[in-house]
């Protein structure tokens, strides 16, 4: 709606959406009343981007795409500030600058594009080299120069002043401008011992044919064929299309960094780490969670199977872990499978009757689908969790779905049923852990738990 000054008349309709409007406040052009607006269709998980002429009262669809399709994602529009402090679209004439992660079958290759609002044509000005990880940070003075961050598996991230040069011939999807760069920073490697970490992209399939992938990290000095204790860390995501569920995420060309309570800390202790293992829940958005347990169980089994076939994992010494919805996944996998030696669940929700009006993408309430809420709640199956589980929670967690009572009640249920469990409360911490003491304590608790219940178990075949 639009209300003209002096705001005494009735407001006039500018645009009526069929689906939910999710973005428009930062979509103003610098002049001519142009407004970029995004509409989201929940059932199809589809995004539509419209161009409105607010002064004329017209609108037209600019582009649309599957929100989960990383390979076809247009990225996000860039903005610039006006002298009055307001932000508008960063344009070159009728074209808007876009930057994106550049998902591809070989991993992320970030880009910088110019997308014309009139013709719809897209010019790719910059794309990350296939053997590095580089991305646009900000323009530097004019549109031909920008700050770029660049890194590789063995080079720490540094910043460069990149200058766009002459037009060049390029294959479809590649940069059409030459690029010159000058170093801005010369940061040295703060953790040279991490250079020896090996990172691999592993792709495989679930039993139902859904393609999956994960980033496999191997500890320094790894000898090919050695079976290692392993940590599988994941966070389930929902998809309406199996083809997007299997798309590769991330890049194998980033420099390994252990930040906060990252599971990558296990690499310093001789573990293999399956990072961001895809755990897709695929189906109709209205009912996909009806098979949540079956889908994550199948995905976990497929991940272990592929590394077992490669001679990397010792199946008897695999730990599953996750944070928030990943913790929910962890407890469910321990309750419904015998794939893991132990579990580590951080700041999770385990009793879905305590979130009765929906969770994640689930829109049915408890009263509409009580069987589902009980079926996906690890609390319901606490008597079947027969592997040791470590529960960690921030004392002041203000996430509406993961109040500390979730871990408290699951811990009591586990102990009452004779399970092996430990509950760690982090004072003053919310959903994420910030204090140095909290982060270090979390790492110590996780490593000690995994060592005790997985790493120090005898390997397969030992007596």
The structural domains of the chain, ordered by start, are 20-183 (no CATH), 192-455 (3.40.50.1820)
Q: Are 108 and 133 in contact (CB under 8 A)?
A: yes
The residue ranges of DSSP E strands in 184-333, in sequence order, are 198-205, 211-218, 228-234, 237-239, 272-277, 280-282, 313-323
Q: Are 128 and 138 in contact (CB under 8 A)?
A: no
* Cα distances (angstroms) measured from residue 295 to each of 206, 286, 362: 9, 16, 15
Active site residues: 324, 397, 431
Residue 19 token pair:
């689906």
Q: In terms of DSSP bridges, do strands 211-218 and 272-277 run parallel, antiparallel, or are they unpaired?
A: antiparallel
pLDDT at 462: 57
pLDDT at 461: 58
Count how many residues are written for the chain. Answer: 463
pLDDT at 44: 85
Average pLDDT taken over every residue of the chain: 94
- The sheet that has 198-205: what strands, in order across it? 198-205, 211-218, 272-277, 228-234, 313-323, 342-346, 389-394, 421-426
pLDDT digits (tens, 9 = 90+) for 77-103: 999 999 999 999 999 999 999 999 999
Give dist(CA 149, CA 129) in Å, integer: 12
Q: Which of 125, 139, 132 is nearest to 170 (CA)?
A: 125
Q: Count other Cβ atoms within 10 Å, centred on residue 65.
A: 14
Taking phi over 0 as left and psi of -120 to 50 as alpha, with beta for the rest, 214 belongs to beta
Q: Are 329 and 322 in contact (CB under 8 A)?
A: yes
Render the burial of 275-300: b for 16+ CB within 10 Å, e for the rest. bebbbbbbbebeebbbbbbebbbbbb
Question: Which residues of the chain register pLDDT less than 50?
Answer: none
Give dist(CA 441, CA 433) in Å, integer: 10
How deeply is 341 buried, as exposed, middle or buried, from its count of CB atoms within 10 A (0-12, 13-18, 19+)? buried
pLDDT at 460: 57
Q: At 380, phi and psi to the nearest 5?
A: -65, -30
The whole-model pTM stands at 0.90
Query: CB under 8 Å to 197, separation ≥6 — which residues?
Result: 217, 218, 219, 220, 256, 267
Q: Which of 71, 106, 290 is nearest to 201 (CA)?
A: 106
How deeply is 355 buried, as exposed, middle or buried, from its count of CB atoms within 10 A (0-12, 13-18, 19+)? buried
């Amino acid at each position: 709606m639009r209300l003209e000054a002096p705001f005494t008349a009735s407001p006039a309709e500018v645009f009526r959406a069929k689906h939910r409007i999710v973005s428009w406040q930062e979509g103003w052009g610098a002049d001519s009343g142009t407004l970029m607006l995004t509409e989201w269709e929940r059932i199809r998980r589809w995004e539509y981007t419209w161009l409105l002429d607010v002064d004329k009262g017209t609108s037209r669809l600019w582009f649309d795409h599957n929100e989960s399709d990383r390979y076809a994602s247009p990225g996000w529009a860039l903005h610039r500030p006006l002298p009055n402090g307001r932000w508008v679209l960063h344009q070159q004439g009728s074209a808007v600058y876009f930057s994106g992660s550049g998902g591809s079958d070989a991993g992320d290759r970030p880009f910088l594009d110019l997308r014309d609002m009139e013709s719809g044509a897209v010019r790719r000005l910059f794309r990350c080299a296939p053997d590095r990880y580089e991305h646009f940070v900000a323009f530097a003075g004019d549109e031909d120069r920008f700050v770029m961050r660049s890194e590789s598996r063995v080079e720490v991230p540094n910043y460069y002043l990149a200058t766009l040069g002459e037009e060049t011939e390029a294959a479809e999807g590649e940069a059409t401008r030459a690029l010159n760069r000058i170093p801005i920073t010369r940061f040295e490697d703060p953790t040279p011992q991490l250079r020896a970490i090996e990172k691999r992209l592993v792709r495989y399939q679930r039993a139902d044919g859904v393609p999956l992938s994960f980033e496999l990290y191997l500890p320094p000095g790894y000898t090919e064929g050695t079976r290692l204790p392993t940590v599988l860390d994941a966070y389930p995501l929902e998809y309406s299309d199996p083809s997007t569920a299997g798309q590769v995420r991330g890049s194998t060309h980033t420099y390994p960094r252990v930040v906060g309570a990252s599971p990558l800390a296990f690499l310093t202790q001789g573990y293999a780490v399956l990072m961001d293992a895809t755990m897709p829940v695929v189906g109709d958005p209205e009912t996909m969670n009806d098979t949540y347990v079956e889908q994550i169980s199948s995905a976990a089994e497929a991940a272990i199977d592929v590394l077992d076939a490669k001679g990397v994992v010792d199946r008897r010494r695999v730990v599953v872990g996750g944070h928030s919805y990943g913790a929910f996944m962890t407890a469910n996998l321990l309750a419904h499978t015998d794939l893991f030696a132990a579990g580590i669940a951080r700041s999770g929700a385990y009793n879905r009757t305590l979130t009765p009006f929906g969770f994640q993408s689930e829109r049915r309430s408890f009263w509409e689908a009580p069987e589902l809420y009980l079926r996906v709640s690890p609390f319901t199956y606490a008597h079947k969790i027969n592997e040791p589980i470590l529960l960690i929670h921030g004392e002041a967690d203000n996430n509406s779905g993961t109040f500390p009572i979730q871990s408290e009640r699951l811990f009591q249920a586990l102990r009452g049923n004779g399970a092996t469990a430990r509950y760690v409360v982090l004072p003053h911490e919310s959903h994420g852990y910030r204090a140095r003491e909290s982060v270090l304590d979390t790492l110590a608790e996780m490593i000690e738990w995994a060592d005790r219940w997985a790493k120090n178990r005898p390997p397969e075949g030992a007596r």
